Structure 1
Amino acid sequence: MKNFIKNNALSLFFLAAFLLSLVGQSFAGNADANQQRLAEGGAPLSWVSYVTSSDFTADVAENWQSEYLQFLLFILATVWLVQRGSTESKKPGEEGGESDAEQKTGRYAESDSPAWAAAAGWRRSLYGNSLGLVMGAVFVLSWLGQSVSGQASYNTQQLAQLEDPVSWGEYVVSADFWNRTLQNWQSEFLAVLSMVVLSVYLRQRGSTQSKPVGAAHDTTGVEG
Structure 2
Amino acid sequence: MVRQDTSSANRRRSLLHDNGLLLACLALFGAFFVGMILAGTATYNEEQREHGSTEQVSIIGYLTTGDFVEATFENWESEFLQMGMYVVLTAFLYQRGSSESKPIDGAAPQDEDPRKADVTDATPWPVRRGGLALSAYEVSLAVAFFVLFFASMALHALGGSRAFNDERLQHGQAAISCGGTSRRRSSGSSRCRTGRASSSPSPRSSRSRSSCVSAVRRSRSRSQRHTTRRAPDSRRSSARP
Q: Does 1:99 align with 2:112?
A: yes
Q: Does 1:33 align with 2:44?
A: yes
SS of residue in 1 equivalent to 2:179: helix
CA contact (8 A) 2:51 2:170 kept: no
Question: What is the TM-score with the length of structure 2 in the denominator?
Answer: 0.64
Question: What is the TM-score with the length of structure 1 in the denominator?
Answer: 0.68
Q: Does 1:151 align with 2:164?
A: no
SS of residue in 2 equivalent to 1:150: helix
SS of residue in 2 equivalent to 1:85: coil
Give the AA of the match of 1:164.
Answer: A
Q: Does 1:166 align with 2:176?
A: yes
Aligned pairs for 1:1-224 within 5 A: 1-2=11-12, 3-43=14-54, 44-92=56-104, 98-100=111-113, 105-111=114-120, 112-170=122-180
User: Which one has more relative contact order, counting CA pairs under 8 Å at least 6 apart?
Assistant: 1
**How many equivalent residue pairs?**
166
Gaps in structure 2 of 5+ consecutive residues:
1-10, 182-241
Give the AA of the match of 1:66.
Answer: S
Percent identity (aligned): 29
* Cα deviation digits, residues 190-211 of structure 1 (max 9, x gap): xxxxxxxxxxxxxxxxxxxxxx
> Distance in 2 between the 1:41 and 1:164 partners?
19
CA RMSD of aligned residues (A): 2.0
Gaps in structure 1 of 5+ consecutive residues:
172-224
CA contact (8 A) 1:109 1:117 kept: no
* Poorly superposed stretches of 4+, deviation over 4 Å: none
* Cα deviation digits, residues 102-139 of structure 1 (max 9, x gap): xxx12414422212123211111111111111111111
CA positional deviation for 1:4: 2.4
* Cα deviation digits, residues 172-206 of structure 1 (max 9, x gap): xxxxxxxxxxxxxxxxxxxxxxxxxxxxxxxxxxx
CA positional deviation for 1:163: 2.1
